[in-house]
Amino acid sequence: MNLISVIGSGTMGNGIAHTFALAGLRVNLIDISQEKLEQALDTITLNLGRQVSKGAISEAEKNTSLGNIEVFTEMEKGVADADLVIEAATENLSVKLNIFKELDRLCKPEAILASNTSSISITRIAAETNRADKVIGMHFMNPVPVMKLVEVIRGFKSSDDTTKAIMDMAIRIGKIPVEAHDYPGFVANRILMPMINEAIFTLHEGVAGVTEIDTVMKLGMAHPMGPLQLADFIGLDVCLAIMNVLQEGFGNPKYAACPLLVNMVTSGQLGVKSGSGFYDYSGENNELVVSKRWTT
């Protein structure tokens, strides 16, 4: 596999494109918005520049990586010759199903179709195609260029050959792949999201404040980031969507989202992406400040 198409140029999409391009593969980055594609290229350029300044890569490697990326607003042109397509669109079932239906029609028969979904069933996605054996999950962690883990999720019909090809590809781009089967939340989010949800319940019930909860988990459990700060970083809307997938998938009330999480998402308080969540991100410095709501 030498030509990789990435669908979606947001945070995950541009990080995936960055990683593959740096590993020497050609990348077609696809989005419906030319403006978003230009923003993605700016972000990739900035992040590659940071790697240069840290001595992780050379200026020549940066320039070569940027030269490996081509952008497209038309999916048909961007995926026609791809050996591997990675969908990194919004975490919405209907959006993903429509994309995979189109990919199945537009891609060459031997192309592997992967989804970066963090929780949606690969088996359900694959059912929209006529190549379920070539559909698989490739769940990267954020920020993609930094985080080593890739969850490789086998759908019910994902073949051994497809799984091996993706495991090998993850290693080729410098990642550590971990194979998982297709059940709600896979491994990472089945464990992580209930913990975040419980941290929100702990705040909601007045057991402790934002800083206290995050401090306990950082100092007591050696987590690099507290669960409430991590929720802000992920996006509270994404956290809620994953909790809903877990609850619907297992039918177990232990996966019910905290009412506080529901209210915050409903009100548009989504974390870093909206400027405010459990912490406030409207300031110009990098100091972590608890949102006023939790300090009054």
pLDDT of 93-108, one tens digit each?
Answer: 999 999 999 999 999 9
Tens-digit pLDDT profile for residues 13-51: 999 999 999 999 999 999 999 999 999 999 999 999 999
In the annotation, is 189 catalytic? yes
Q: What stretch(es) of the chain map to CATH 3.40.50.720?
A: 3-181
Of the residues 115, 121, 139, 274, only one is catalytic, namely: 139
Helix (H, G, I), strand (E, B) or coil at 58: coil
Q: What stretch(es) of the chain map to CATH 1.10.1040.10?
A: 190-291
Beta-strand relationship, 112-115 and 69-72: unpaired
Tens-digit pLDDT profile for residues 168-189: 999 999 999 999 999 999 999 9
Residue carrying the six token digits 């319940």: 201
With 0-12 / 13-18 / 19 or more C-beta atoms within 10 angstroms meaning exposed / middle / buried, residue 292 is: exposed
Tens-digit pLDDT profile for residues 246-293: 999 999 999 999 999 999 999 999 999 999 999 999 877 667 899 888
Is 250 in contact with 259 (CB distance < 8 Å)? no
> Can you tell me the distance from the alpha carbon of 144 to that of 18, in angstroms, rounded to the nearest whole number?
8
Round the average pLDDT of the chain to a whole number and report it. 95
Of the residues 118, 119, 121, 197, only one is catalytic, namely: 118
The pLDDT score that the predictor gives to residue 47 is 97
**What b/e string do you get for 158-169 counting C-beta neighbours within 10 Å, with b at 16 or more?**
bbeebbebbbeb
- DSSP-H helix ranges across the chain: 11-22, 34-53, 59-67, 75-79, 93-106, 122-126, 160-172, 188-204, 210-215, 221, 227-234, 236-250, 259-266
> Can you tell me the distance from the alpha carbon of 149 to that of 143, in angstroms, rounded to the nearest whole number?
11
What tokens does 178 get? 């971990």
CATH superfamily of 3-181: NAD(P)-binding Rossmann-like Domain (3.40.50.720)
In the annotation, is 118 catalytic? yes
Amino acid 238 reads V
Amino acid 190 reads R
Look at residue 134 and tell me whether its pLDDT is greater than 80.
Answer: yes
Please tell me the pTM assigned to this model.
0.91
Helix (H, G, I), strand (E, B) or coil at 177: strand
Of the residues 9, 151, 197, 291, only one is catalytic, namely: 151
Of the residues 5, 14, 116, 189, only one is catalytic, namely: 189
The pLDDT score that the predictor gives to residue 90 is 87
In the annotation, is 76 catalytic? no
In this structure, whether the domain defined by 190-291 belongs to CATH 3.40.50.2000 is answered with: no
Residue 296 — very low, low, confident or very high, per pLDDT cuts 50/70/90? low
CA 60 vs CA 52, 56, 256: distances in Å:
9, 12, 50
More confident residue, 75 or 283: 75
In the annotation, is 18 catalytic? no
